[in-house]
Copies of this chain bind each other. A is one copy, B any other.
Amino acid sequence: MDKKEFKGIIEALLFVSGDPVSIRDLAGALEIEQKEVMEIIREMKDQYNFERRGIQIIEVDGHFQLATRPEHFEFIQRLYSPQRKQGLSQAALETLAIIAYKQPITRAEIDTIRGVQSDKALYTLSERKLIQEVDRLDTVGRPILYGTTIEFLRYFGFKSIDDLPQLLEEQITYLDENTR
């Protein structure tokens, strides 16, 4: 089978699934190595972008999914008027930023950084499955330790959790350099 054939099959698999498909499942269906799948998908991504296709391959935590492009939203809206979900509040975003960067983290620590109580924000974020209880601290009251979810990655378009600290750190360095 040539690479073109593999690309076609991967496209078909992602199309049928709708949901994210793990690289492991793709490799299993194609009966090739995961490494090879990765390489093919990387090429596909480039091709899709180069050809300005209507779909793109997004990657979240070792899973791949087909999605439309933001620039086509307007046209899709004309035809289907999909509802845009309400964005997160400033408080929720702030809380999420702290959790993303400092996870696992307790509510008390978040409150200290923010200078305000974060109960409501934590509730919203849990409801939207953007954060989860990852563990509990071994101290009095066994406080919950929060962390981000895969949904968080998808929601903000991060490939993996490793993308995150890097990006955040860059920003901080950048901010510091530009304000000192």
Given A4-B51, A4-B52, A52-B4, residue A69 in contact with residue B25 (CB < 8 A): no
Complex contact A75–B29 (CB within 8 A): yes
Q: Does A16 contact B (CB under 8 A)?
A: yes
Distance of A130 Cα from B72 Cα, bound (Å): 35
Q: Which residues of B contact A13 (CB under 8 A)?
A: 54, 72, 75-76, 79
Given A8-B69, A75-B30, residue A54 in contact with residue B15 (CB < 8 A): yes
Complex contact B78–A28 (CB within 8 A): yes
Question: What's the dominant secondary structure at chain A's contact region?
Answer: helix
Q: Does A116 contact B (CB under 8 A)?
A: no
Q: Does A113 contact B (CB under 8 A)?
A: no
Complex contact A12–B72 (CB within 8 A): yes
Q: Which residues of B contact A82 (CB under 8 A)?
A: 16, 25, 28
Given A17-B80, A80-B17, residue A11 in contact with residue B54 (CB < 8 A): yes
Complex contact A16–B53 (CB within 8 A): no
Given A12-B75, A12-B76, A29-B79, residue A54 in contact with residue B7 (CB < 8 A): yes
Distance of A30 Cα from B74 Cα, bound (Å): 10
A79 to B, closest residue via Cβ? B29
Distance of A72 Cα from B4 Cα, bound (Å): 13
Q: Does A21 contact B (CB under 8 A)?
A: yes
* 5 closest cross-chain pairs (CB), A and B: A11-B54, A12-B54, A12-B72, A8-B54, A29-B78
A and B contact pairs by CB, cutoff 8 A, 18 listed: A4-B51, A7-B54, A8-B53, A9-B54, A9-B72, A12-B75, A12-B76, A13-B75, A13-B79, A14-B54, A15-B55, A16-B80, A17-B79, A21-B79, A25-B82, A28-B78, A28-B82, A29-B75
